[in-house]
């Protein structure tokens, strides 16, 4: 059995490909390299360079590699930028998903694991987000992910597509030194780049109603996330019952100040973060229950905060070394 991983040359997708291979499942990658890197794809894994907007390319990849299922990670993932580029966001995340589903239907591929997002919830006013928490996306990105879930749902009704959506929160760390988070918008890369450049990392707001005054979020190790994809793929392969969506969350969360302290310990670079004003619309706390995923997908937080920071820092330092 071979799984097509869209976006498999990206930070998350490349970890998913490695997890599939480690579990004895075949994988083929489709990626346009707009944000991914070909050297992130494990050696020996078939790689097809192209866009998920190209239905003919997807059909050829499915045929040539005997694809039986899809893990759909590709997409435009920058929530803040999506406000400025809504049409691009919808083209990549909604039209792209529709084209992919059409190619799957044409080639008789009937199972998919979809990379969704906590952004479908917007800024929920609850202590613990569950899969039933109302959906109120606050950006075109979040809206596009919710529409993606609807597309899977409707194709399930119309054509018997077997599917599940994994709603990520904040993905960090690295399971292998050669694959790292290169996003210019995520917290860990922002903090590391500031330290490497001799600048002081910044906290946006320290007067929230949380134990230390800073935002509390779920942070998940990318290796744990990748294993959840494999478990979902195996469940679909086996024809077992599966929920339409799962939160991948910790149940308790970590504050930004706690992350800063862990970074200082791991890197050995002592610093006191500067404090900037709150960002508009930034909620004090977003933490999710992972109970459903634990029940069905073996989901667990296998890595401590220190593990997350250390693995990410080691990958960042490795990227700085001459080859």
121 classed as catalytic: no
DSSP 65-131: TTEEEEEE--S---HHHHTT-HHHHHIIIIIHHHHHHHHHHHTT--EEEEEEEGGGG-S--SSSB-T
Give the integer Cα–Cα distance in Å for 177 and 71: 23
Q: Is 171 helix (H, G, I), strand (E, B) or coil?
A: strand
User: Catalytic pick from 11, 78, 90, 141?
Assistant: 141
Give the integer Cα–Cα distance in Å for 78 and 168: 14
The residue among 270, 235, 77, 98 whose CA lies nearest residue 171 is 77
CB 273 within 8 A of CB 305: no
For 129, other C-beta atoms within 10 Å of its C-beta total: 21
Instruction: Give the list of residues 6+ apart from residue 137 with CB closer than 8 angstroms, or none.
Output: 119, 120, 121, 122, 143, 145, 146
Active site residues: 141
């Amino acid at each position: 059995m071979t799984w097509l991983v869209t976006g498999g040359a990206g930070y998350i997708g490349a970890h998913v490909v490695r997890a599939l291979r480690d579990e004895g499942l075949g994988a083929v990658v489709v990626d346009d390299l707009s944000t991914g890197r070909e050297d992130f794809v494990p050696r020996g894994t078939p790689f097809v360079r192209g866009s998920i907007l190209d239905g003919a390319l997807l059909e050829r990849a499915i045929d040539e590699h005997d694809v039986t299922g899809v893990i759909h990670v590709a997409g435009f993932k920058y929530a803040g930028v999506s406000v400025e580029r809504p049409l691009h966001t919808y083209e990549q995340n909604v039209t792209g998903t529709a084209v992919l589903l059409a190619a799957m239907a044409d080639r008789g591929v009937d199972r998919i694991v979809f990379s969704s997002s906590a952004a479908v919830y917007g800024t929920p006013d609850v202590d613990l987000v569950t899969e039933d928490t109302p959906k109120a996306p606050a950006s075109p990105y979040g809206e596009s992910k919710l529409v993606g879930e609807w597309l899977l749902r409707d194709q399930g009704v119309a054509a018997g597509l077997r599917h599940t959506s994994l709603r990520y929160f904040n993905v960090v760390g690295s399971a292998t030194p050669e694959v790292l988070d290169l996003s210019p918008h995520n917290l860990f890369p922002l903090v590391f780049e500031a330290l490497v450049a001799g600048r002081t990392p910044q906290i946006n707001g320290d007067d929230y109603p949380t134990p230390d005054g800073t935002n509390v979020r779920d942070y998940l190790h990318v290796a744990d996330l990748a294993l959840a994809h494999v478990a979902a793929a195996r469940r679909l392969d086996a024809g077992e019952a599966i929920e339409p969506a799962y939160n991948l969350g910790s149940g308790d969360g970590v504050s930004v100040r706690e992350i800063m302290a862990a970074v200082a310990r791991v890197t050995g670079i002592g610093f006191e973060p500067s404090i900037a004003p709150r960002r508009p619309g930034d909620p004090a706390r977003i933490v999710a229950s992972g109970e459903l995923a634990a029940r069905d997908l073996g989901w667990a937080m296998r890595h401590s905060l220190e593990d997350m920071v250390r693995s990410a820092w080691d990958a960042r330092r490795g990227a700085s070394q001459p080859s």
